[in-house]
């Protein structure tokens, strides 16, 4: 079914950078035998899945949608991919994204854009736009994305699918090509909350290969797929409702509040504080880490090397100049600047302090509320081509998602309605650290 749908949709949607029918059929045979022999017995055995192209797949190209990794074939699987294989899942292919996951529209890919399956003149969001579009178009039942500042939740919202960012440290980052290591998390994308939860459960777990991996004994997330909203305390940050929020998104939020109240939830507004500082702190920290993480791409060890150069330094320079796209270069420059001597204290160190204050603001909120309800993005999917001219505006649109990453929290984005043009609107349930079950329960009851 998936391969048929891929054939039908890919010409217009272009969610995938790579699909290999032969590999898929070979794997199907393997899985069929595995199911027969009892090797694969879980609920995900035989389910086709798409994987974002910044997650390493052994023997299969992993490009981060960048020219600099255009021909990179990893010699190993990411831990999350290993877990998919162990669950008997079938990897259909690798999905398109913003280059190195830097962006909000999937238009900074070096290999062409992905479009929104609901309206092909619009973007699918980003950076996990390929993964979300693949699920929305019915090309894949499930997908893996990565979320550094909103890259699973925002495209899920634009594409009308469910996407989740787990608590930092829940899913191993081993084999996820790093953007901003202290914020990156792999997470699931699905059509509904149950499927999303089943996939989250499959990919979670302690991994000694990731130094920030956390040992938890509450990873049986599917147990939370029950219950109701009765008595659940929900807070909505007043700051999230101020200017900048699109009317249709606001209306969907209000309708959701009514619905949740009617089902017994206690919903109130409160002041979260510090919301204006989320974007500056996020972009300083993310760019600083990116500039360091991307230093390894020098034309020597991986991928692209410039054709002509004079000496080693010229080779570095030309390979990087030709291999990286505009947006990635912008972040490397910004990151190198905020880390440079003389500016480190004024920018990077200050951003880290703000990060700690943001975490504290969320801690205070979770002393009063079980969860926070928030938009996933200020608007629905914008038109193709409309965001790239104004990077600052694009950065500002991460205001509801990036704070969650700075604080390491879990959050799930669920489809909640449509705007006046019939485009999907998503809302997020944000939980305290390790409280995935609470937000899964609420999202499931709400859905």
Q: Which residues are catalytic?
A: 52, 127, 151
The reply to whether 150 sits near ligand GLN by the rule CB under 6 A is: yes
Stretch that binds ligand GLN, among 10-18, 86-94, 141-149, 192-200 (CB under 6 A): 141-149
Instruction: Please tell me the distance from the alpha carbon of residue 115 to that of residue 11, in angstroms, as a whole number.
Output: 10
Q: What gap in Å lies between CA 258 and CA 252, rounded to an integer?
A: 10
92 phi, psi to nearest 5 deg: -80, -35
The smaller minimum CB distance to ligand GLN, of residues 51 and 102, is found at: 102
Number of residues that bind ligand GLN (CB under 6 A): 13
Determine if 147 is a binding residue for ligand GLN (CB under 6 A).
yes
Choose between 20 and 210: whose C-beta lies nearer to ligand GLN. Answer: 210
- Binding track, positions 257-286, relative to ligand GLN; x by CB under 6 A: -----------------------------x
Site string for ligand GLN, 96-135 (x = CB under 6 A): -----xxxx----------------------x--------
Residue placing its CB nearer to ligand GLN in the complex, 148 or 319:
148
Cα(81)–Cα(203) distance, rounded to whole angstroms? 8
Radius of gyration over every alpha carbon of the chain, rounded to an integer in angstroms: 21
| Interaction of residue 293 with ligand GLN, rule CB under 6 A | no
Cα(first)–Cα(last) distance of the chain, in Å?
Answer: 25
| Sites for ligand GLN among residues 154-183 (CB under 6 A) | 179
Q: How far apart are CB 4 and ligand GLN at their closest, in Å?
A: 31
Q: Using the rule CB under 6 A, is 151 a contact of ligand GLN?
A: yes
**From residue 385 to residue 414, what is the string marking binding to ligand GLN with x (rule CB under 6 A)?**
-------------x----------------
Using CB under 6 A as the binding rule, the residues of this chain from 356 to 375 that contact ligand GLN are none
The minimum distance between CB 105 and ligand GLN, in angstroms, equals: 9
What minimum distance in Å lies between the beta carbon of 148 and ligand GLN?
Answer: 4
Q: Which of 260, 279 has the CB closer to ligand GLN?
A: 279
In the complex with ligand GLN, the residue whose CB is nearer, 304 or 395, is: 395
Residue reference for tokens 């499931």: 444
Considering only CA atoms, which of 180, 182, 176, 173 is closest in space to residue 205? 173
CA distance 27 to 6: 17
Between 93 and 126, CB nearer to ligand GLN: 126
Among 114, 148, 172, 387, binds ligand GLN (CB under 6 A): 148
Q: How far is the CB of 228 from ligand GLN (least distance, A)?
A: 32
Report if residue 189 touches ligand GLN, rule: CB under 6 A. no
Long-range Cβ contacts of 68-71 (<8 Å, 24+ apart) = 68/297, 68/302, 68/303, 68/304, 68/319, 68/320, 68/323, 68/324, 69/177, 69/297, 69/302, 69/303, 69/304, 70/110, 70/303, 70/304, 71/303, 71/304
CB-wise, 9 or 167, nearer to ligand GLN? Answer: 167
Chosen residue from 48, 124, 149, 431 binding ligand GLN by CB under 6 A: 149
Give how far Cα 386 sits from Cα of 71, 289, 375, 381, 391, Å.
30, 28, 21, 10, 10
**Is 69 near ligand GLN (CB under 6 A)?**
no
The residues that touch ligand GLN, with contacts defined as CB under 6 A, are 101-104, 127, 147-151, 179, 286, 398
């Amino acid at each position: 079914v998936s391969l048929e749908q891929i054939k039908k949709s890919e010409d217009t949607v272009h969610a995938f950078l790579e699909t290999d029918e032969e590999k898929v059929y070979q794997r199907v045979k393997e899985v069929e035998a595995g199911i027969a022999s009892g090797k694969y017995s879980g609920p995900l055995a035989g389910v086709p899945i798409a994987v974002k192209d910044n997650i390493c797949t052994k023997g299969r190209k992993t490009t981060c949608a960048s020219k600099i990794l255009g021909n990179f074939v990893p010699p190993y699987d990411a831990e999350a991919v290993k877990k998919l294989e162990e669950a008997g899942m079938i990897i259909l292919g690798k999905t398109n994204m913003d280059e190195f996951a830097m962006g909000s529209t999937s238009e900074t890919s070096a290999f062409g854009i992905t479009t929104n399956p609901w309206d092909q003149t619009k973007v699918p969001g980003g950076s996990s736009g390929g993964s979300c579009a693949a699920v929305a178009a019915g090309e894949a039942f499930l997908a893996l994305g990565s979320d550094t500042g909103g890259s699973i939740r925002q495209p899920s919202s634009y594409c009308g699918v469910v996407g989740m960012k787990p608590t930092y440290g829940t899913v191993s980052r081993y084999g996820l090509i790093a953007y901003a290591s202290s914020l990156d998390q792999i997470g699931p994308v699905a059509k509904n909350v149950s499927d999303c939860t089943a996939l989250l459960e499959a990919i979670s777990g302690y991994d000694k290969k990731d130094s920030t991996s956390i040992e938890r004994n509450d990873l049986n997330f599917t147990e939370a797929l029950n219950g109701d909203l009765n008595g659940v305390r929900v807070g909505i940050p007043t700051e999230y409702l101020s200017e900048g929020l699109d009317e249709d998104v606001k209306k969907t939020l209000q309708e959701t509040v009514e619905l949740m109240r009617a089902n017994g939830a206690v919903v109130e507004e409160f002041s979260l504080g510090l919301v204006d500082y989320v974007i500056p702190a996020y972009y300083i920290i993310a760019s600083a880490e990116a500039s360091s993480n991307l230093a390894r791409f020098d034309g020597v060890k991986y991928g692209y090397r410039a054709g002509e150069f004079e000496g080693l330094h010229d080779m570095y320079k030309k390979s990087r100049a030709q291999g990286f796209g505009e947006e990635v270069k912008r972040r490397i420059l910004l990151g190198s600047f905020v880390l440079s001597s003389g500016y480190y204290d004024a920018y990077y160190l200050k951003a880290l302090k703000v990060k700690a204050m943001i975490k504290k603001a969320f801690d205070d909120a979770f002393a009063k509320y079980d969860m926070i309800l928030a938009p996933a993005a200020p608007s629905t999917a914008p038109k193709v081509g409309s965001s790239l001219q104004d990077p600052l505006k694009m950065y500002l649109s991460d205001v509801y998602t990036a704070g969650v990453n700075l604080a390491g929290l879990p959050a799930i984005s669920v489809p909640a309605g449509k705007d006046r043009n019939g485009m999907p609107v998503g809302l997020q349930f944000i939980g305290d650290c390790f409280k995935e079950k609470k937000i899964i329960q609420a999202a499931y009851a709400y859905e």
